[in-house]
Amino acid sequence: MQADSAKEKNMRLRNIKGSREVIGSNRFVVQNPEEQHGKWKEVFGNQNPVQIEIGMGKGRFITELAIRNPEINYIGIEKYSSVLLRALEKREEVEVENLLFIRMDAEDIGSVFDEGEVDKIYLNFSDPWPKDRHAKRRLTSKEFFKRYDKILKKDGRVEFKTDNRPLFDFSLEEVVNAGWILEKHTFDLHNDVEMSEGNVMTEYEEKFSSIGNPINKLIAYR
């Protein structure tokens, strides 16, 4: 399982020539997003809730959410230009007004969103950073939960899915270490009637579940 996951993650690092130039001029990518700090509802032109996915990959998950929920504004965040380019290809195919993208490192998220500006945060199949010395880089580390605490509204949630059991076990512990509350969790999402209701699969989720890997999910709040 872990070998397959690592292979997929490595694919994300491949450079596609010209990807940064395309992203830099695309109407669906917010350039200099820190300039919109505290202004995201103005960016979308409405007062609808704002939900974000950090590390959105090729964008299948958040694009589907935007199609299903036109009353919610979505922002997909991705670090790698070559992967964001694939998400833009999907974005061009759908006619929705509630989906934008940002290319950035999640460590800087506090400079982009104001206190309480985000209603929900999605983390899907995040990089496991398997070495202990890199634990703070994991998107479910207590260090990142501190970042989420600053931008998430008071009753907001963080939802996390992965097929990586060691990462999930670590994440369960970090929720507590960060002083957050574990609302729900499952070690087998697709066989959990309650938590699988309305589930939108990512590319990784479809791939790994198709070969029998159970999908883990947690929901946390303060």
Say which of 114, 127, 149, 192 is annotated catalytic.
127
Is the Cβ–Cβ distance between 119 and 158 less than 8 Å?
no
Structure token pair of residue 203: 């590319």
Closest CA to 55 of 137, 111, 114, 130: 137
How many Å apart are CA 24 and CA 86, to the nearest integer?
14
Structure token pair of residue 115: 């206190």
Query: Catalytic annotation on 105?
Result: no
Please, what sign has the CA dihedral across residues 108, 112, 59, 195?
A: positive
Closest CA to 126 of 114, 116, 117, 134: 134
Is the Cβ–Cβ distance between 99 and 28 less than 8 Å?
yes
Q: Is 129 left (phi over 0), alpha (psi -120 to 50) or beta?
A: left
Residues acting as catalytic residues: 127
